[in-house]
Amino acid sequence: MIRHLFKLIWNRRRANFLVVTEIFVCFLVLFAVTTFGLYSVRNYYRPLGFDYSRVFSVNLEFDQSLGRDGRTSRTGAAAAEPVAENPHESRQRALLELLKSDPSVEEAAWGWPLPFSHSNEVHSTEFRGRDVSYSLARVTDEYKSVLGIEITRGRWFSPEDDASGYEAYVITEALARQAFGDEDPVGKSFAADRNPGEAPPRREPRVVGVMRAFHQEGEMDTEENYALIRLDYASIRMGRTAGIALRMRGTPDATVEARIAKSLQAAAPDWGFTVEPMAMGAELNRQMYMAPIGVGAVVAISLILMVGLGLSGVLWQSVTTRIREIGVRRALGASAADVRHQVMGELLVMATVAMALGVGVVLQFPFLDLLGPVPKSVFFAGLSLTIVALYALALLCSLQPARLATTVHPAEALRYE
């Protein structure tokens, strides 16, 4: 039966070639949409890694160049020596103390970049012979209690890391898996591979603990590899840290926010401060992510609707053209169901051919390692869903033309000119 259908399709190959092309392109569009949709849904339900309700972020504006633009004086005088230590140390300590003494602040920590800040620092290094890339934030010891970070292995930063000769890291489970495999990373060095003759870093990076996850920009952030690095007030890094995270008591309103902004401004008049509930940043990110998805979904659905209507039109037309063929079949004893199956079967066979081509094309992505952050499971789930949906679409399109074909009376059809 199917072999016979193939023969029929082959005989009309010029017309059918276009139908196959159309289903093929449609397959690619549908596949992109379903895979991306599944990926987004999956991302939405992962653990975020921290709790931003009742957390305020304070973004600071101050001179962070620390003399690095020093040679730019009008006279072209000798370069100012780059500063070796943090010139803002005493002020940064004082500001945090000031915040902690506020009755509505439960805990406060310095850190940069803060969640929902839209800035990120990415490190791409070679570690144990493999490329490892991760985003990072540098934070002080209070950060864990401010954001409620969950430690799964090892420990969080503690004063014992002071003057210990290493730089303490807490990394996500995903980063631990990628960098260390099945090995327990706690206590291990995280120093990048060095070329022979290259000097070791001044302070060796060392993993002291592992956290469940940390998606800095919220639920939809695709970065899985994240590291928190302990800040030391005296270090030059601290001098560039321009964020404070605050955990508040109860549900603070705008008056509390205003009071905090005002007291910070009074303590450091030449610095800029912007206080904002983190939940607002989270909401903004969600909207920024959802808007293009919504537009894309509407466009894709309209495209597929258009293809559906078009295909059923083509099929309808082909039934009209082949009315004599159908008449002959009916006259030779084919039942209405037989004819219906033929019309539907032809479209399904063409859909199968188109999808075989499509699957062949998209399978190149995992083979060539082009999936990016999309996991293989999501890819294959998207692929299966697309195949099911496209068969459903093909069936739906062929229903009406197939019904039409069965209404043909054999005697009339044979007379038809």
Structure tokens that stand for 353 in this block: 């051919």
21 binds other proteins (CB under 8 A): yes
Provide the token pair at 409. Answer: 């009376």
Among 41, 44, 69, 183, binds other proteins (CB under 8 A): 69
Of 248, 243, 246, 215, the closest CA to residue 231 belongs to 243
58-66, 105-113, 236-244, 335-343 -> range binding other proteins (CB under 8 A): 58-66
Structure tokens at 242: 């321009």
Least CB distance to other proteins at residue 75 (A): 9
Residue 255 or 407 with smaller CB distance to other proteins: 255
Find, among 38, 6, 29, the residue nearest to 390 by Cα: 29
Cα→Cα distances 171→43, 164, 183, 330, Å: 19, 19, 14, 72
Determine, following the binding rule CB under 8 A, whether residue 74 of this chain makes contact with other proteins. yes
CA atoms within 13 A on the CB side of 11: 8
- Distance, in Å, from the CA atom of 198 to the CA atom of 23, rounded to the nearest integer, reads 57
Q: How distant is the alpha carbon of residue 154 from its chain centre? A: 28
Residue 49 to residue 37: CA distance in whole angstroms: 22
Size of the site for other proteins (CB under 8 A): 54
Binds other proteins (CB under 8 A): choice among 4, 41, 44, 71: 71
Nearest to 125 by CA among 195, 213, 191: 191
- Give the contact letters, 311-350, x = binds to other proteins (CB under 8 A), - = no: x-xx-xxx-xx-----------------------------
Query: Could you tell me the smallest distance in angstroms from the CB atom of residue 16 to other proteins?
Result: 10
6, two tokens: 């193939």
Which of 2, 41, 73, 121 binds other proteins (CB under 8 A)? It is 73
H helix or E strand, kind and range, residue 123: strand 121-127
| Residue from 36, 271, 365, 391 in contact with other proteins (CB under 8 A) | 271
Closest by Cα among 328, 324, 316 to 400:
316
Question: Under the criterion CB under 8 A, does residue 290 sit at the interface with other proteins?
Answer: no
252 binds other proteins (CB under 8 A): no
Q: Which is nearer to other proteins, 250 or 269 (CB)?
A: 269
Cβ–Cβ under 8 Å, residues 206 and 166: yes
Query: Does position 270 bind other proteins by CB under 8 A?
Result: yes
State the DSSP string of 4-59. HHHHHHHHTHHHHHHHHHHHHHHHHHHHHHHHHHHHHHHHHTS--SS--TTEEEEE
Query: What sign has the CA pseudo-torsion 213, 214, 218, 223?
Result: negative
Is residue 281 within 8 A of residue 115, CB to CB? The reply is yes
For other proteins, the closer CB: 179 or 354: 354
Backbone angles phi, psi at 108, to 5 degrees: -140, 145
Contact segment (CB under 8 A) with other proteins among 111-119, 219-227, 252-260, 357-365 equals 252-260
When asked if residue 68 is in the footprint of other proteins (CB under 8 A), the reply is yes
3-class secondary-structure state, position 372: coil
Bridge partner residues of 110 (DSSP): 244
Residue 417 as a binder of other proteins (CB under 8 A): the answer is yes
The CB-of-203 to other proteins minimum distance in angstroms stands at 21
- From 111-119, 127-135, 140-148, 261-269, give the range in contact with other proteins by CB under 8 A: 261-269
Among 310, 359, 371, 385, binds other proteins (CB under 8 A): 310
Q: Which stretch binds other proteins (CB under 8 A): 47-55, 273-281, 362-370, 381-389?
A: 273-281
Return the residue matching tokens 């051919």.
353
Question: Within 195-234, which residues bind other proteins (CB under 8 A)?
Answer: none
119 binds other proteins (CB under 8 A): no
Q: Does 254 bind other proteins (CB under 8 A)?
A: yes
Counting contacts by CB under 8 A, is residue 285 touching other proteins? Answer: no
For residue 261, state whether it binds other proteins (rule: CB under 8 A): yes
62 in contact with other proteins (CB under 8 A): yes
Contacting positions for other proteins (CB under 8 A)? 15, 18-19, 21-22, 25-26, 29, 61-63, 65, 68-74, 76, 79, 253-255, 257-258, 261-262, 265, 269-276, 291, 299, 302-303, 306-307, 309-311, 313-314, 316-318, 320-321, 417
